[in-house]
């Protein structure tokens, strides 16, 4: 088991106090919108053994289990986010897996840079969501 050090995303709509209260730190005065826990390459959780995505990449079957790798491939099949909204959020609609794969492939073929602001598909994965409001 690894202790995770997780990235806090500072989106403008984030609360200035909720995440700090949750994790037991002093508020920074800046918006803190999301805590990301997982192996997303844009903000992987850190472990004593390195970034979680690199730890998993080194031995997916050991880290995830053979059944998970067999079902989802050699990647953590979810990204856990804790959201703390301090302002109203826009509605998001995510593609299903086939749409995500096709859209990502099309943007890759068109050589749209991964960090381009007009890019729609940053990866080929769908993003099923479960929301639990507290």
Q: What does the pLDDT read at residue 42?
A: 87
d(CA 15, CA 34): 9
Q: What does the pLDDT read at residue 134?
A: 60
- The backbone torsions φ and ψ at residue 44, rounded to the nearest 5 degrees and listed phi first, read -70, 145
pLDDT digits (tens), the chain, 134 positions? 899 999 999 999 999 999 999 999 999 999 999 999 999 988 999 999 999 999 999 999 999 999 999 999 999 998 999 999 999 987 778 899 899 999 999 999 999 999 999 999 988 888 877 777 66
Q: What does the pLDDT read at residue 90?
A: 79
- Class of residue 66 by CB neighbours under 10 A (exposed 0-12, middle 13-18, buried 19+): exposed
Q: What does the pLDDT read at residue 133?
A: 66
Which domains, and CATH codes, for the chain? 7-88 (2.60.120.10), 91-134 (no CATH)
d(CA 9, CA 36): 7
């Amino acid at each position: 088991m690894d202790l995770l050090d997780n990235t806090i995303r500072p989106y403008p709509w984030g609360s200035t106090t909720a995440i700090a209260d949750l994790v037991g730190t002093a508020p920074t005065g800046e918006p803190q919108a999301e805590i990301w826990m997982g192996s997303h390459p844009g903000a992987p959780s850190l472990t004593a053994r390195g970034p979680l995505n690199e730890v998993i990449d080194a031995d997916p079957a050991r880290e995830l289990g053979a059944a998970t790798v067999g079902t989802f491939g050699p990647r953590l099949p979810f990204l856990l986010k804790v959201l703390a909204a301090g302002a109203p959020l826009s509605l998001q609609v995510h593609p299903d897996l086939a749409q995500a794969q096709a859209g990502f492939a099309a943007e890759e073929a068109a050589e749209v840079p991964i960090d381009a602001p007009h890019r729609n598909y940053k990866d080929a994965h769908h993003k099923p969501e479960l929301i639990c409001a507290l």
